């Protein structure tokens, strides 16, 4: 469910016509809906109630500070994977005790930053990392709250680039060695064990892998408690998938996911943390682009649009599908034709869709790539010296630019010429 709908033949974000934003901001641009972000966050809090819980938004999926503030104001926590993301969470006004720090390669500087700025917990991913964190915290006269991320050796049955919970993946420690690693953690002076962490992958479209992983976490909770550890929090990660198409193959709903959590770990007396990214942000955002040319091809026509793979890399990187619609609603029964929808970059990979049926379009027409809120703007680059596209946030009948399009001068001014030239 999202708030990008046609009204009187025009595509709207909530109560704002997207063509009006395009006229003011130019294309391409990302547009996010406050109402959709809010609804998705609330689906999770409702699904987990009445268990004590914290929904930590995975910032890496959509990191604009205005979006973080929107969610933070609702009470959301944040899951960060870098010092930069930590600072974004703080800039959005989220208190440290609602920020969890994940990631396989936290540096001493990042640990220092989070310890001194305030942090709810570090999710530890290896023994060397655990020892370094203890040193850094001890050196500051502090004790760092930690969970240890266990790898439950579960096949998430998702795209291999976003599967993270199988033996051989770089994430966490094998669950078979967990007791040993927790035993060492308990001896380190700068650490305090508070729980267990698990995250098995992204865009999961079935509940079974979660179930398998969470049952293993429940078993481990008992074992670690018997060993004398305090396990009061379970961080169950993110990864619930979203519908990218509007057919009947919708992934499980947050309500069913919540019921699964209650069934598998709900009776352990733990506070539950989850780290959803995509499900909150994915369908809360679209990428709006203008058709530059319609070019006749051998079998079908190309729509050459002003957005490209540097703005939205998911199709090129993961072969992902994004629904594409015209901002002007096609008349009922209007004839459609297949187009290849491509950007201007000199790579064949710069293709958003092949043989996609759309009403006849012309240069100057506007289109929207749906489900682009997650892993869209955050993965964009300036490849081909194309300035980053702006981000716009809609709230009811008004909107604001929440990241402006850099000027060419701004882009060029970041390069410096050495004195010998």
Ligand X SMILES: *Cc1c(COP(=O)(O)O)cnc(C)c1O
Write out the catalytic residue numbers.
Answer: 346
**In this structure, what token pair is assigned to residue 7?**
């009204």
User: For ligand X, what does the binding mask look like between residues 101 and 120, x meaning CB under 6 A?
Assistant: -x------------------
Distance between CA atoms of residues 40 and 283, nearest Å: 9
Q: Which region, judged by CB under 6 A, interacts with ligand X, from 107-115, 205-213, 270-278, 389-397?
A: 270-278
**In this structure, what token pair is assigned to residue 290?**
């203008």
Q: How far is the CB of 375 from ligand X (least distance, A)?
A: 7
Which has the closest alpha carbon to 126: 170, 183, 161, 80? 170
- Residue 152 within binding range of ligand X, rule CB under 6 A: no
User: For ligand X, what does the binding mask look like between residues 354 and 393, x meaning CB under 6 A?
Assistant: --------------------x-------------------
List 28, 190, 277, 343, residue binding ligand X (CB under 6 A)? 277
- Residue 278 within binding range of ligand X, rule CB under 6 A: yes
- Residue 343 within binding range of ligand X, rule CB under 6 A: no
Q: Which of residues 189-208 bind ligand X (CB under 6 A)?
A: 199, 202-203
CB of 401 within 8 A of CB of 352? Answer: no
- Residue 238 within binding range of ligand X, rule CB under 6 A: yes
List 2, 125, 275, 391, residue binding ligand X (CB under 6 A)? 275
Q: How far is the CB of 239 from ligand X (least distance, A)?
A: 4
**In this structure, what token pair is assigned to residue 189?**
């002076």
Distance between CA atoms of residues 16 and 28, nearest Å: 17
Q: Which residues contact 245 (CB under 8 A, 6 or more apart)?
A: 321, 323
List 14, 62, 77, 79, residue binding ligand X (CB under 6 A)? 79
CB of 30 within 8 A of CB of 389? Answer: yes
CB of 361 within 8 A of CB of 324? Answer: no
> Which lies closer to ligand X via its Cβ, residue 88 or residue 278?
278
Q: How far is the CB of 31 from ligand X (least distance, A)?
A: 19
> Which lies closer to ligand X via its Cβ, residue 61 or residue 82?
61
> Which lies closer to ligand X via its Cβ, residue 277 or residue 343?
277
Which has the closest alpha carbon to 29: 250, 410, 327? 327
List 18, 58, 173, 324, residue binding ligand X (CB under 6 A)? 58
Q: How far is the CB of 351 from ligand X (least distance, A)?
A: 24
> Which lies closer to ligand X via its Cβ, residue 81 or residue 341?
81
Q: Which residue(s) pair with 337 in the sheet?
A: 358
Task: Give the footprint of ligand X on this chain (CB under 6 A).
Answer: 58, 60-61, 79, 102, 199, 202-203, 237-239, 275-279, 374
């Amino acid at each position: 469910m999202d708030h990008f709908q046609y009204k009187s033949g025009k595509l709207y974000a909530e109560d704002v016509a997207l063509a009006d934003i395009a006229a003011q901001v130019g294309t391409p641009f990302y547009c996010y809906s406050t109402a959709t972000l809010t609804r998705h966050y609330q689906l999770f809090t409702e699904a987990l109630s009445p268990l004590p819980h914290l929904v930590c938004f995975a910032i890496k999926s959509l990191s604009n500070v205005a979006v973080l503030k929107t969610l933070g104001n609702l009470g959301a926590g944040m899951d960060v994977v870098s010092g930069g993301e930590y600072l974004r969470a703080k800039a959005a006004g989220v208190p440290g005790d609602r920020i969890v720090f994940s990631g396989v390669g936290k540096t001493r500087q990042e640990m220092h930053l989070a310890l001194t700025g305030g942090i709810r917990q570090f999710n530890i991913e290896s023994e060397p990392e655990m020892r370094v964190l203890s040193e850094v915290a001890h050196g500051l006269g502090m004790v760092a709250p930690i969970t240890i991320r266990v790898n439950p050796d579960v096949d998430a049955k998702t795209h291999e680039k976003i599967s993270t919970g199988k033996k051989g993946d770089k994430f966490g420690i094998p669950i078979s060695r967990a007791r040993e690693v927790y035993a060492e953690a308990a001896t380190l002076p700068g650490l305090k064990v508070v729980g267990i962490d698990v995250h098995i992958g992204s865009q999961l479209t079935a509940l079974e892998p979660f179930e398998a992983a969470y049952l293993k976490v429940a078993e481990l909770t008992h074992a670690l408690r018997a060993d004398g550890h305090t396990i009061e929090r379970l961080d169950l990660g993110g990864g619930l998938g979203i519908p990218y198409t509007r057919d009947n193959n919708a992934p499980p709903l947050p309500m069913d996911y919540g019921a699964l959590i209650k069934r598998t770990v709900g009776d352990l007396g733990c506070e539950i943390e989850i780290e959803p990214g995509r499900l909150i942000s994915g369908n809360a955002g679209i990428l709006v682009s203008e058709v530059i040319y319609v070019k006749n091809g051998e079998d079908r026509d190309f729509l050459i649009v002003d957005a490209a793979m540097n703005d939205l890399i998911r199709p090129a990187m993961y072969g992902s599908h994004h629904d594409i619609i015209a901002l002007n609603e096609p008349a009922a029964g209007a004839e459609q034709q297949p187009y290849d929808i491509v950007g201007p970059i000199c790579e064949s990979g710069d293709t958003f869709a092949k043989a996609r049926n759309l009403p006849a379009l012309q240069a100057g027409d506007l289109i929207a790539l749906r489900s682009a809120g997650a892993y869209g703007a955050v993965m964009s680059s300036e490849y081909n010296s194309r300035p980053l596209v702006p981000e716009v946030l809609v709230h009811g009948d008004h909107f604001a630019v929440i990241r402006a399009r850099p000027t060419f001068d701004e882009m060029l001014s970041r390069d410096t010429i050495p004195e010998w030239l």
